[in-house]
Structure 1
């Protein structure tokens, strides 16, 4: 099944279930989706900060890292 086709099938199934859900359940679903989006944005900000740090301070080789752990 093609990715877009699979997504469409999933969205159709989800929509059908949401149509039958209680209002409180819909609010919880929305909160979960919003939380997931916020976590994604936070992960992206963290990754960018780590890349900037690596540009400024350089990186370690695997051997250097293992030595620091000792």
Structure 2
């Protein structure tokens, strides 16, 4: 994951290139970015559906149980 500063630098560089791009190139870039965004949305929805199915089949774990397991793991890591 990029830092905020790295993102800013990259966005400025991209914007500079976009300013000089042909209209047809801008259309292609927009289509590509929209396709990527749609695919990411589909992946996110798939993950949510899989998580819900897992919960339906196996139930859920309470927050207290998760905290207890984490505490036990930390004790084992220290030992």
TM-score range normalised by the length of the shorter chain: 0.7 to 0.9
Unaligned ranges ≥5, structure 2: 59-79
Runs of 4+ displaced beyond 6 Å:
none
The structure, 1 or 2, with the larger RCO (C-alpha pairs under 8 Å, 6+ apart) is 1
Length, aligned pairs only: 57
Report the TM-score, using the length of structure 2 for normalisation: 0.66
SS of 2:34 mapped into structure 1: helix
Report the TM-score, using the length of structure 1 for normalisation: 0.74
> Bigger radius of gyration, 1 or 2?
2
Unaligned ranges ≥5, structure 1: 59-70
Note if 1:18 corresponds to 2:18. Answer: yes
